[in-house]
Amino acid sequence: MKLELYKFDGCPFCRRVIRYIEESGRKDISFCDIHKDPASRRRLIKVGGKEQVPCLFVDDAPLYESADIIRWLERHPEE
Ligand SMILES: N[C@@H](CCC(=O)N[C@@H](CS)C(=O)NCC(=O)O)C(=O)O
């Protein structure tokens, strides 16, 4: 499964998700910073339909909302 977290530094909702990821120790998520990488920002808007972060792409399908992302990660531990 391909997992990509769209985020930017300074976003408190992103920090919440990233803290969860770090504390859980999982290493199967890559990060796309929409402020540092214009292509990531364009992809988020094109695929997700809005610029909101955090957004977790699960096999290229966008999942918004930090609480929903954490819940999804809890239910899908690293394989
Ligand atoms: N309820 C959302 C709030 C996310 C949110 O407000 N993110 C801000 C950045 S801190 C954002 O992306 N704002 C731009 C937008 O919503 O288009 C969550 O918990 O993930």
The pLDDT tens digits of the residues spanning 61-72 come to 999 999 999 999
pLDDT digits (tens, 9 = 90+) for 19-77: 999 999 999 999 999 999 999 999 999 999 999 999 999 999 999 999 999 999 999 99
Q: Can you give the residue ranges of every domain in the chain?
A: 3-75
| Protein residue closest via CA to atom 16 of ligand 1 | 52
CATH topology for 3-75 is Glutaredoxin (3.40.30)
Mutation choice for ligand 1 from 16, 35, 40, 53, CB with most ligand atoms inside 8 A: 53
- Distance (angstroms) between ligand 1 centre and the Cα of 34 equals 13
48 Cβ neighbours under 8 A, 6+ residues apart: 6, 55, 62, 64
